[in-house]
Structure 1
């Protein structure tokens, strides 16, 4: 359990929810799945920092891109952000997993496009016989 030493610079789950637009239920799920591990106050309440606000935005962007929380956790565990951006370290399988997700999304997009074309063809006015 991570304890935040300076509780004056922290916020509780409700405030993080308001700042990020993510429900408290989702934030608790992120904690349970290990993608966002908050500090704890002396009385055991979740305690978040400004860094956690950034992390929540990263998580929601990855969820919107179709990644599972398991993949997100794997990514965040090996991503290091520094002065020159974010770099992946020690994640040999992650790129392959992300490429597989991208390929699956491309295939779904193509299938949806074909379905739209078929539906438009059915809806087209027909010439009288």
Structure 2
């Protein structure tokens, strides 16, 4: 584990974050780039514990090891990454309003929800 030595002799630790199965690829990133950047930036080692590379809906543990303070910071960064992606997906989904085929399409169906119609007098 080169480069993981304690600079203050504080010891090493390992923490785990449960990553939803459908978000494992987000944490790893294309070609492993995201997880490498997280490891470099926070000075920790990260490993996703999985039996195989087959996508699954089951949570997978992400083990973060290194200096306790750095591990905690890395854990927070991973949780922020997951939460940020969740918010982006929610925003995209809330902007989509399905139009029903069996009814007439009205003009107000095409206006985004956040725009209020002007009152009529």
- TM bin, normalised by shorter chain, reads 0.3 to 0.5
Higher relative contact order (CA 8 A, sep 6+): 2
In terms of fraction of residues, the more helix-rich structure is 1
In terms of fraction of residues, the more strand-rich structure is 2
